[in-house]
């Protein structure tokens, strides 16, 4: 990530919070976070603060276009630019398929799909201007899930939103390729975040991996940074499955 300014949406906890210190360690020059939990976002920025980097945490509900655009612009004003956008924000409500309410569908779509879409739109507009002005290739990495590609009873609405994000990734990547903007997604299987540990379903999912364990957030973050960093110069529109053998592409 050397020389790049990075914005992590949903960076207050879980995978997003793991990406921040790793990006700092790899040479990122500025860090931004957008999260619903402003206090968590500020805590997650501590590695950037300690390194003396320009950084900023914006508090927003990205389920609306205006709020997402305003949050993106707020970060740009604070840190100067965004070279790499990582979309980690998502909710993971588990519910039997016949019991999912309209409210649960709407909440999942608002954050997981619309929120990702709104942040991508804001980023593409910004990155197109940068590409025209500075000839710098922007990069966007979306977090999908193996649930988008393998049936997972009790999680249909989440799986549907992640399949939608995979589709958005391909559509955006195809449309902005002439601008030099590279857009990909990373699909983890079971990941040992604090929230997953507390929810109680992690042992079952971890046992389904051929490696017999869940991934650490850092193991997934490595792929996110590779995909969104300067070493990726040619891959776009792809979904990288990092599942420990839970599924194979």
203-210, Cβ contacts within 8 angstroms, sequence gap of 24 or more: 205/246, 208/246, 209/243, 209/244, 209/245, 209/246, 210/244, 210/245, 210/246
| pLDDT exceeds cutoff 90 at 134 | no
Model confidence pLDDT, tens digit, residues 17-52: 999 999 999 999 999 999 999 999 999 999 999 999
Tell which CATH architecture fits domain 5-242. 3-Layer(aba) Sandwich (3.40)
Cα(60)–Cα(40) distance, integer angstroms? 12
- Per-residue pLDDT for 193 more than 90? no
Residue 129 pLDDT more than 80?
A: yes
For the stretch 66-92, pLDDT in tens is 999 999 999 999 999 999 999 999 988
Residue 111 pLDDT more than 90? yes
Q: Say what the pLDDT of residue 49 is.
A: 97
**pLDDT tops 90 at residue 201:** no
Catalytic member of 117, 158, 234, 246 = 158
Say whether pLDDT at 192 is over 90.
Answer: no
Domain ranges (residues) in the chain: 5-242
Report the alpha-carbon distance of residue 172 to residue 174 in Å, rounded: 5
Q: Distance between CA atoms of 219 and 75, rounded to whole angstroms? A: 27
Q: Which residue has the tokens 């630019």?
A: 81
Q: What is the pLDDT of residue 152?
A: 73
pLDDT category of residue 154 using cuts at 50, 70 and 90: confident
158 is catalytic: yes
Amino acid 85: pLDDT:
98
Average pLDDT, the chain: 93
pLDDT on residue 199: 74
pLDDT at 177 over 90: yes
State the DSSP string of the chain: -TT-EEEEETTTSHHHHHHHHHHHHTT-SEEEEEES-HHHHHHHTHHHHHTT--EEEEE--TTSHHHHHHHHHHHHHHHS--SEEEE---------GGG--HHHHHHHIIIIIIIHHHHHHHHHHHHHHHHHHH----EEEEE--GGGTS--TT-HHHHHHHHHHHHHHHHHHHHHGGGT-EEEEEEE-SB--HHHHHHS-HHHHHHTSTTSSPBPHHHHHHHHHHHHSTT-SS--S-EEEE-TTSS--
pLDDT the model gives residue 110 = 95
Average pLDDT over residues 198-225: 88
For residue 232, the model assigns a pLDDT of 95
| Percent of the residues in the chain that have a pLDDT greater than 70, as a whole number | 99
pLDDT at 231 over 90: yes
CA distance 15 to 146: 15
Of the pLDDT bands very low, low, confident and very high (cuts 50, 70, 90), residue 132 is confident
């Amino acid at each position: 990530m050397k020389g790049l300014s990075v914005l992590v949406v949903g960076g207050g906890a879980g995978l997003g919070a793991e990406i921040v210190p790793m990006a700092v360690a790899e040479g990122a020059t500025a860090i931004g976070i957008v999260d619903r939990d402003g206090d968590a976002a500020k805590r997650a920025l501590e590695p950037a603060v300690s390194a003396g980097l320009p950084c900023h945490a914006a508090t927003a509900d990205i389920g609306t276009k205006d709020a997402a655009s305003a949050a993106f612009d707020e970060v740009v004003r604070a840190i100067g630019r965004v070279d790499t956008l990582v979309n980690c924000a998502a909710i993971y409500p588990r519910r039997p398929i016949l019991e999912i309410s309209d409210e649960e569908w709407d909440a999942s779509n608002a954050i997981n799909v619309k929120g990702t879409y709104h942040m991508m739109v804001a980023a593409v507009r910004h990155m197109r201007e940068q590409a025209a002005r500075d000839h710098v290739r922007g990069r966007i990495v979306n977090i999908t899930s193996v649930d988008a590609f393998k049936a997972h009873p009790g999680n249909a609405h989440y799986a549907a939103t992640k399949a939608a994000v995979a589709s958005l990734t391909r559509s955006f990547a195809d449309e902005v390729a002439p601008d030099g903007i590279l857009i990909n997604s990373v699909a983890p299987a079971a990941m040992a975040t604090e929230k997953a540990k507390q929810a109680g379903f992690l042992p079952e999912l971890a046992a389904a991996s051929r490696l017999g364990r869940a991934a650490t957030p850092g193991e997934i973050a490595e792929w996110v940074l590779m995909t969104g960093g300067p070493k990726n110069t040619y891959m776009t529109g792809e979904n990288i499955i990092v599942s420990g053998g839970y599924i194979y592409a």
